[in-house]
Chains A and B, each alone.
Chain A
């Protein structure tokens, strides 16, 4: 009996819950602080005050409080739309944050968009003062500032938390750099937690909307430009004929104001033969012309110039591969699925850019045309280039870097896997199970083998917006081949420089099965040997 009581006391002491005699302990302690609040709370209240209030309370009771308790945290207080909790362990705090966000996704799924309750969550590690119903200190302020800058449905963590959890919690982190936050002197380094690809896709969608808007705007501009061009084309021709005899006088003409050009629009008919137009325009140059004919003269210089420019541009300006800038961050490279992929290890990637697609036949042949690449490829222009050795790929990037004066190169193996995982830690970027129609691999699609390799970008992009990161063509990276990751660098640099008999290929090809599509899959191949499924993509240092 006595031992039992003693044990009980010991337990109380250990767990920090003060027993019967209230101990006078310092109210200061180090804690991981979670600050959460609902995005657009006032808007929700406006739509449906009572309903929202009821739902928020229900969420607090059935999700927030139990999640915090489950992860050994303590709910300090709830405000109308938010809460603050403290945890002894940063790992538990972040886990709790992820759990809350994931549960909320499920709860919102059945509701219309405007009724979604989405939390923003910020987590910081700080030395704070704890009192009965509240917690104070700039550690708390930073947590709520992080929460303030977080996107709805996201968990943002500070550098302090990140340092504690990066090797312990298997999920992706995206560095957002140092951010200045309100009323805090020093900038805070901020990381976004990427618990699952779904979260990524949501933010992508938002970006897509903006992109689509921008795109349609650009299209509109182009369309109106084209219309304008089509409309003015005949005058251009007319004008050129007219201006030919009077070319010395031309310098006078361009000064005529654009408004006159507008007026002229409905005037001449394209079908009007050039002959009558010529005498009409020509004599009118010497005297200072009246408004309407002046327009005819105003048109030629602009018209003559505009068709000329697009004609010369393609020859002088080289088309560069479409690149995606990745912000870098930390991730777990490798897996336990294959001996070559062990041990899984943490790698930090610096910001870099990677081409959205594997290099295509068209892009390769530009290099071949410049006599900088070894052979001219045959095949469809938008198919990925194949039958490339590592040294061929190196020749291409050397040429591209020289021609563009940009630091084009092959990606390192770590960069490739980081880009392929796109913030996910699952077997495939879309989850642990293979799904047909997601990648170009053997028995994965309905595409006949004869049409291979099919054009780049035929499948869904991963959450980073990259196509064909897995399946399609094998892709060379900079690294020498090592049979596993023992001794691999953790800084994302290429492993092994210069001469080595074989280099790493990634991605798997259309001739390999689904197992090879996994972002962690890797293999080596002879450096100077070409093989029909081997291609590559390029990277760019900032």
Chain B
């Protein structure tokens, strides 16, 4: 199963690599990315499950190049603007959910934090126009 998937994936990727740089895959205009939980301004004690919501688009694995689908990225306390011509960064404040996760256990140090979701395409680039959620603030006790 895994092997067939990998082969399929590799075929897709090899094809892709011959295609032009797939920066800014088109996204439907009515797509909405949002937090199911937590809401803006929530005060939370300890760790929490962060749940991602996506309307009018599908969630898939990173690497899978299906129309109108992508995977989630959670940006924690990120202030730099999103660069649509670069893959979404991968570090401790840019969490990737390339396996198609729609929720994640998040643990943050006490204090105020901002959270924002960004949808990435097969190659981790933001869509065109970028599909991003509102930036919300939470307070960790």
A interface residue numbers (CB < 8 A to B):
338-339, 374-376, 378, 391, 474, 483, 501-502, 509, 511-512, 516, 523, 525-534
Contacts and interface: CB of A to CB of B under 8 A. Distances in A.
A532 B14 contact: no
A376 B14 contact: yes
B92 to A, nearest CB: 7
Contact of A530 (B14, B63, B89): B63
Interface string B1-28: 0100011011001100100000000000
Given A501-B99, A512-B91, A526-B96, A531 B61 contact: no
B5 to A, nearest CB: 8
Interface of B: 2, 6-7, 9-10, 13-14, 17, 61-63, 87, 89-92, 96-99, 107, 109, 123-124
A375 B12 CA distance: 10
A530 B99 contact: no
A516 B91 CA distance: 9
Contact of B10 (A374, A378, A531, A533): A374
B17 A378 contact: yes
A154 to B, nearest CB: 39
Given A526-B98, A526-B99, A375 B13 contact: yes
A529 B124 CA distance: 10
Contacts of B62: 526, 529-531
Nearest to A530: B63
A511 B61 CA distance: 23
A411 to B, nearest CB: 20
A374 B7 contact: yes
B96 A529 contact: yes
Contact of A531 (B2, B13, B87): B87
Nearest to A373: B10
Contacts of B107: 483
Most A CB atoms within 10 A — which of B14, B90, B99? B90
A525 B124 CA distance: 13
A500 to B, nearest CB: 11
6 contacts: A375-B10, A525-B96, A526-B96, A528-B6, A529-B62, A534-B90
A262 to B, nearest CB: 56
Nearest to A338: B92
Nearest to B7: A374
Contacts of A527: 99
Contacts of B17: 375, 378
Q: Binding site of A, secondary structure by majority: helix, strand, loop or mixed? A: loop
Contact of A391 (B6, B91, B96): B6
Given A525-B90, A529-B62, 6 more contacts: A374-B6, A375-B17, A511-B90, A528-B2, A528-B63, A531-B96
Nearest to A527: B99
Contact of A533 (B90, B92, B98, B99): B90
Contacts of A391: 2, 6
Contacts of B90: 474, 509, 511, 523, 525, 531, 533-534
Contacts of A501: 99
Contacts of A509: 90
B30 to A, nearest CB: 27
A292 B98 CA distance: 75
A483 B97 CA distance: 16
B80 to A, nearest CB: 11
A501 B97 CA distance: 11
A396 to B, nearest CB: 13
Contacts of B14: 375-376
A511 B89 contact: yes
Contacts of B98: 525-526, 528-529, 531
Contacts of A378: 17
Most A CB atoms within 10 A — which of B96, B97, B107, B109? B96
Contacts of A376: 14
B92 A529 contact: no
A447 B23 CA distance: 23
A512 B109 CA distance: 21
Given A374-B7, A525-B96, A532 B13 contact: no
A526 B6 CA distance: 14
B93 to A, nearest CB: 11
A338 B96 CA distance: 19
Nearest to A505: B90
Given A375-B13, A378-B17, A529 B6 contact: no
A511 B15 CA distance: 26
A526 B124 CA distance: 13
**Nearest 6 interchain pairs by C-beta:** A529-B98, A374-B10, A526-B98, A529-B62, A526-B99, A375-B10
B99 A532 contact: no
A529 B10 contact: no
Most B CB atoms within 10 A — which of A374, A501, A533? A374
Most B CB atoms within 10 A — which of A483, A532, A534? A532
Contacts of B89: 511
Given A378-B17, A526-B96, A532 B7 contact: no
